């Protein structure tokens, strides 16, 4: 290791320990910020020392869960440098690479905007690109803009690098056009299709000629089997597919995983079609890295959830379900997940508007909350923009006298639990920073473990 | 009574929670015993004179806006005639730009607009993104505040003597330098503010509805009965404080 890198590395590790000791969170990004600031090229060297190379995962939706699933698959066979806390900007990735001194393989979730630079610096063996949904337009600009940045980054990949793309997303699938070594994954079970595209669907128009796509099946938002009758552009053939899908309510989902290496039956412990997509992405990534199908299936079935995305706790004689919502597509799937289970009578919905949540809260109007509004007996709205949520529900037709505005997250949680009958479950749908705050409350009350506890 | 609303290109322009604005108009009309009949007007559908009391035009991504811009530009005469005849318009973000005289892209190319609002828009280098607070300059609502969120690369320049929607208290506004936001022509309002605009600024919804009713009944606009707007006021107060604390500042 060059002397300068060694010095920076040890200095940064010290900062990480200080950060944890002073309880400023998990110490996840401070050391990386330091190195990133001192010498961004140090990241190149940190990535280069991983003998099995680097694999990157990006998407607007599901990248944390996909990466966690890939980790579940790969950790029995490789020592991983994995940014499990979701610190996915260049600084967080630097921290992860610094901390994992004896790792063999880098497994990194990457922010969609940071991806081009992370690709240039880490020179990955495999890049897995899942989907592009509307997410934080205030921060990132439009989908086409991100897709163009991705396209130019992918064109700089070494020829021997593998690309995994979501075939069911027209913009993302097109990134694999004309390349060798591409795995295209998708869902193929029209019995689970939505009757129509949802309100906030993106990429409704053919990326080649602009005519509206015809969907033989739309599964999650605009993901599905699309074709353009005007120019013939269509979803490419699937290399890795989920067929014969069977939902088990909130307890999970089964499907037949069909790959170039053979077929296998998989039962996930997580619910929802969107988790089938995450599993397909993780399986494709692992196969591209040379994992066997058996290892893939074992890893997927062992997996019980990424930090905060879908968690259940016991609170005395009641249960608590936390479901992260962060953009229209993710929120719509969370709602569909609740509909497939037994829908809780009381809901707590939390909206914050910090940078990680998106400062522009208009996205809540693009979420199809209406199935919940028809069935919820009472809704407690909370977080920094609680009143804004209240308006969303009131103008969505929910009676104002059954809405409670409780801006304090802790009080809202307690109010929701009070309203929940013994033996029943309270569903809480928070945005990202509200989810972090609720996790902290749950930890303080002994309901769960902090996420950095076993990350050393 | 039935208020006839023409919603322009709902399939293309729906990016910043535009359906929230429509929902607010529907609910506030219903609370006064009126019904909104929302008629989607899309590519090549016909637009007969006098058939709508209120038009709504939302915002879209660049690609979708480009798909409808030509169609909207040829409707310019019909829209101007409708506004001259007393119909109301709310145009937000991309819709606000497209209803001006036109748009000059970064490559210098000129795209014709519908020519309803007296302004031109020039593509800028950077986006103006953030919370906004305005003080209305409408004679009907002088001094009332408007809170929203803006996200635009275009700089919209009003003609001399043109009427804005409001004065910028915090945020960028039309072009980041003039200190004004939005435009008003007759009963047509245009603005960059989404968030969406109407839930936390319900008086604008009521003003538009009173104009639409006046058009439908061929009478003078009358103020509508007040509603319980406690939640609306709370949301407005939070959004206004965000704009004061972190809204963009004119350069």
User: What CATH number did the domain enclosing B48 receive?
Assistant: 3.40.50.880
Note whether B225 and B9 are within 8 A (CB). no
Residues of chain B with pLDDT under 70: 16, 250-251
pLDDT of residue A261: 95
Contact assignment for B199 to A359 by CB distance below 8 Å: no
| CA-to-CA dists, residue A273 to A333, A375, B8, B82, angstroms | 8, 22, 34, 47
Q: Based on the domain organization, do A249 and A380 belong to the same domain?
A: no
* pLDDT of A137 over the 90 cut: no
Contact assignment for B196 to A400 by CB distance below 8 Å: no
* pLDDT of A14 over the 50 cut: yes
Q: Based on the domain organization, do A209 and A320 belong to the same domain?
A: no
Q: Based on the domain organization, do A250 and A382 belong to the same domain?
A: no
Q: Based on the domain organization, do A71 and A195 belong to the same domain?
A: yes
Contact assignment for B231 to A395 by CB distance below 8 Å: no
Task: Tell me which of A285, A302, A319 is where a domain ends.
Answer: A302
The answer as to whether A228 is a domain residue is yes
Q: Based on the domain organization, do A187 and A49 belong to the same domain?
A: yes
Q: Is B34 a catalytic residue?
A: no
Q: Which domain holds residue A67?
A: 3-302
The answer as to whether A450 is a domain residue is no
Q: Is B215 a catalytic residue?
A: no
The answer as to whether A456 is a domain residue is no
* pLDDT of A138 over the 70 cut: no
User: What CATH number did the domain enclosing A397 receive?
Assistant: 3.90.190.20
B115: left (phi over 0), alpha (psi -120 to 50) or beta: left
Question: Which of A32-36, A133-137, A154-158 has the highest average model confidence (pLDDT)?
Answer: A154-158
The answer as to whether B251 is a domain residue is no
Q: Please state, in angstroms and rounded to a whole number, the distance separating the CA atoms of residues A449 and B68.
A: 52
Q: Based on the domain organization, do A314 and A293 belong to the same domain?
A: no
Q: What is the pTM of this model?
A: 0.80
**What are A323-377's pLDDT values in tens digits?**
999 888 889 888 988 887 777 889 999 999 998 898 999 999 989 999 899 989 9
Contacts of A363 in chain B (CB under 8 A): 17
pLDDT of residue A32: 75
Q: How many A×B Cβ pairs under 8 Å?
A: 90
Contacts of A390 in chain B (CB under 8 A): 231, 234-235
* pLDDT of A102 over the 70 cut: yes
Q: Based on the domain organization, do A269 and A167 belong to the same domain?
A: yes
Contact assignment for B61 to A144 by CB distance below 8 Å: yes
Domains identified in chain B, total number: 1
Determine how β-strand A126-129 pairs with β-strand A105-109: unpaired
Q: Based on the domain organization, do A254 and A338 belong to the same domain?
A: no
Q: Which domain holds residue B77?
A: 2-246
Comparing alpha-carbon positions, the chain A residue that sits nearest to B149 is: A360
Q: Please state, in angstroms and rounded to a whole number, the distance separating the CA atoms of residues A77 and A87.
A: 24
Task: Tell me which of A252, A285, A302 is where a domain ends.
Answer: A302
Q: Based on the domain organization, do A260 and A376 belong to the same domain?
A: no
Contact assignment for B23 to A395 by CB distance below 8 Å: yes
A186-190 mean pLDDT: 96
* Distance to chain A for B17, nearest Cα, Å: 5
Q: Based on the domain organization, do A138 and A269 belong to the same domain?
A: yes
Task: Tell me which of A302, A337, A366 is where a domain ends.
Answer: A302
Domains identified in chain A, total number: 2
Contacts for B149 with CB less than 8 Å, ≥ 6 apart: A138, A359, A360, A361, A362, B16, B130, B131, B132, B193, B194, B195, B239
Q: Please state, in angstroms and rounded to a whole number, the distance separating the CA atoms of residues A420 and A428.
A: 12
* Distance to chain A for B27, nearest Cα, Å: 7
Q: Is A423 on the interface with B (CB under 8 A)?
A: no
DSSP A55-69: EEEE-SSSHHHHHHH
**What are A386-399's pLDDT values in tens digits?**
999 999 999 999 99
Comparing alpha-carbon positions, the chain B residue that sits nearest to A398 is: B27
- Nearest alpha-carbon partner for A44 in A150, A103, A123: A123
The answer as to whether A453 is a domain residue is no
Q: Please state, in angstroms and rounded to a whole number, the distance separating the CA atoms of residues A209 and B63.
A: 12
Please report, for chain B, how many H helices and E strands are present, in that order. Answer: 6, 12
Q: Based on the domain organization, do A292 and A324 belong to the same domain?
A: no
Q: Based on the domain organization, do A95 and A182 belong to the same domain?
A: yes
Catalytic, out of B7, B34, B93, B236: B93
């Amino acid at each position: 290791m060059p002397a300068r890198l060694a010095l920076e590395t040890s200095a940064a590790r010290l900062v990480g320990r200080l950060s944890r000791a002073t309880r400023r969170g998990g110490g996840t990004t401070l050391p990386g910020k330091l190195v990133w600031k001192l010498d961004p090229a140090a990241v190149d060297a940190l990535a280069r020392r991983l003998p099995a190379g680097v694999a990157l995962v990006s998407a607007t939706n599901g990248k944390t869960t996909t990466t966690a699933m890939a980790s579940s698959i790969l950790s029995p066979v490789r020592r991983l440098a994995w940014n499990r806390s979701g610190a996915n900007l260049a600084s967080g990735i630097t921290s992860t690479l610094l901390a994992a001194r004896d790792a063999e393989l880098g497994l990194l979730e990457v922010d969609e905007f940071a991806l081009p630079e992370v690709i240039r610096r880490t020179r990955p063996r495999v890049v897995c690109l899942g989907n592009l949904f509307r997410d934080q337009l205030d921060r990132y600009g439009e989908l086409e803009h991100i897709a163009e940045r991705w396209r130019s980054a992918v064109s700089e990949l070494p020829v021997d690098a593998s690309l995994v793309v979501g075939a069911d997303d027209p913009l993302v699938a097109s990134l694999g056009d004309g390349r060798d070594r591409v795995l295209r994954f998708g869902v193929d079970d029209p019995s689970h299709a939505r009757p129509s595209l949802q309100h906030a669907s993106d990429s409704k128009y053919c990326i080649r000629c602009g005519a509206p796509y015809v969907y033989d099946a739309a599964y999650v938002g605009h993901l599905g089997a699309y074709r353009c009758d005007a120019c013939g552009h269509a979803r490419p053939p699937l290399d890795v597919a989920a067929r014969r899908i069977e939902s088990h309510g909130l307890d999970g989902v089964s499907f037949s995983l069909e790959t170039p290496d053979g077929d296998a039956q998989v039962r996930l412990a997580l619910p929802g079609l969107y988790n089938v997509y995450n599993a397909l992405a993780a399986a494709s990534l692992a196969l591209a890295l040379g994992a066997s199908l058996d290892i893939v299936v074992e890893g997927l079935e062992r997996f019980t959830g990424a930090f905060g995305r879908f968690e259940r706790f016991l609170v005395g004689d009641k249960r608590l379900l936390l479901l992260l919502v962060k953009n229209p597509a993710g929120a719509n799937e969370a709602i569909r997940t609740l509909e497939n289970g037994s829908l809780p009578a009381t809901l707590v919905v939390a909206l914050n508007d910090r940078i990680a949540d998106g400062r522009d809260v208009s996205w809540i109007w693009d979420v199809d909350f209406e199935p919940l509004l028809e069935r919820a007996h009472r809704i407690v709205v909370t977080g920094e923009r609680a009143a804004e949520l209240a308006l969303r529900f009131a103008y969505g037709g929910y009676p104002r006298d059954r809405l409670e505005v409780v801006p304090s997250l802790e009080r809202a949680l307690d109010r929701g639990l009070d309203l929940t009958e013994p033996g029943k479950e309270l569903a809480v749908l928070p945005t990202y920073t509200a989810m972090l705050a609720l996790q902290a409350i749950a930890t303080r009350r002994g309901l769960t473990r902090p996420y950095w506890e076993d990350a050393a | 009574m039935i208020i006839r609303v023409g919603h322009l290109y709902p399939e293309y322009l729906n990016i910043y929670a535009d359906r929230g604005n429509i929902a607010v108009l529907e609910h506030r009309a219903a609370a006064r015993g009126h019904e909104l009949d929302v008629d989607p007007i899309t590519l090549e559908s016909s637009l007969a004179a006098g058939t709508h009391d209120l038009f709504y035009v939302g915002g879209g991504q660049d690609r979708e806006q480009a798909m409808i811009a030509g169609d909207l530009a040829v409707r310019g005469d019909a829209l101007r005639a409708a506004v001259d005849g007393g119909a109301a318009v709310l145009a937000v973000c991309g819709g606000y730009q497209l209803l001006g005289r036109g748009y000059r892209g970064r490559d210098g190319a000129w795209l014709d607009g519908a020519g309803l609002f007296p302004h031109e828009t020039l593509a800028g280098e950077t986006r103006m993104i953030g919370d906004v607070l305005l003080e209305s300059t409408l004679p009907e609502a002088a001094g009332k505040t408007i809170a929203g969120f803006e996200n635009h690369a275009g700089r919209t320049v009003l003609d001399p003597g043109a009427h804005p929607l409001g004065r910028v208290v915090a945020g960028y506004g039309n072009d980041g330098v003039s200190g004004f936001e939005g435009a008003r022509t007759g009963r047509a309002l245009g603005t960059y503010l989404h968030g969406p605009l109407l839930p936390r600024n319900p008086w604008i919804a009521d003003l538009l509805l009173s104009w639409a009713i006046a058009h439908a009944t061929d009478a003078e606009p009358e103020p509508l009965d007040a509603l319980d707007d406690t939640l609306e006021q709370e949301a407005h107060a939070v959004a206004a404080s965000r704009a004061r604390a972190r809204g963009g500042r004119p350069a």
